[in-house]
Amino acid sequence: MPRATGPLAEALAHRTVVLDGGLSNQLAAQGCDLTGGLWTGRVLDERPVQVEAAHTAYAQAGAEVLITASYQVGYRAFAAQGRDRDTTTALLHRSVALAARAAEAADHEVWVAASVGPYGAVLADGSEYRGRYGLSVRELAAFHRPRIEALLAAGPDVLAVETLPDPDEAEAVLTVLAETDAPAWLGYTVAAGRTRSGHPLSEAFALAAQAPQVIALGVNCCDPAEVLPALEAAAAVTAKPLLAYPNDGSAWEAATGTWWTPADVPPWPTAAWRRTGARLVGGCCRIGPERIADLAREFREDGPPGESIM
């Protein structure tokens, strides 16, 4: 089946669309080595067939959007590892091509979303969970611009601007999006009812509320318990479709390079998320194909968001 032919924004106008889950955990489950500062970018570079296999696993689970392996691919970070600019650009293009191949092999329509990770991701030190990098909005825009341009040249259906900890970085990315006029969603990572950098969610969401390029906004890579309050804050300032793809409640320990995992992971109140306006729902780190299959089945059975039952 060909990739989804209609704009993702049109689908979001009338139904919930299922996102994929965490790429890193699926690659690890397939036996890939993610050590080192390049993380999933290392697998994209060295074992691209494994990246396509991970995308395929999510498509087979029912995911309708595949997010590319470009989250941690940055020109500066890859230059430090001996890759020249052309090589890094080729890897960004490859990330889209691999997701596209998996989408085209699926038995249902699938959109390809090019991941635009935060500046902190390329530092590989957990900075995306803190923000406040000491860079100006202009400097952050200069960082994001070439990556976004390279990804768009590869022909994704939408940009997945994700795991932003800081409204300053959101402002920078929105500046670049306005230059390109490309459709995108925007996801903050949040904790304790605020952005990871400590800013009020209402202010953070308001930045993107009027941006015509943004087709959905919300949260990702956060504790599931943070999702509903964040969606409510977003719904108070925008009528755009909302998005939610949390992790399993684990916290990343940058010093040790490990996850701290809670003893109990509570059920996700997805019906409440959808009633609040969530139209893009999936998983982030440590959420695998089985959970995505559950979501796909749940949404098929429940019908349109307004008919969901807690």
pLDDT in tens, 75-97: 988 888 888 999 999 999 999 99
pLDDT at residue 107 greater than cutoff 80 = yes
List, for residues 178-214, the tens digit of each pLDDT value.
999 999 999 999 999 999 999 999 999 999 999 999 9
pLDDT at residue 310 greater than cutoff 80 = no
CA distance 165 to 132: 8
CA distance 95 to 45: 9
The secondary element (H helix, E strand) that includes residue 278 is strand 278-281
Mean pLDDT score across all residues of the chain: 92
More confident residue, 77 or 176: 176
Q: What is the pTM of this model?
A: 0.93
Token pair in block for residue 171: 């402002």
pLDDT at residue 309 greater than cutoff 60 = no
List, for residues 1-41, the tens digit of each pLDDT value.
668 989 999 999 999 999 999 999 999 999 999 887 788 99
pLDDT at residue 149 greater than cutoff 90 = yes
Q: What pLDDT, on a 0 to 100 scale, did the predictor assign at position 304?
A: 63
**The residue count for the chain:** 310
Closest CA to 113 of 13, 30, 220: 220
Coil/strand/helix, residue 230: helix
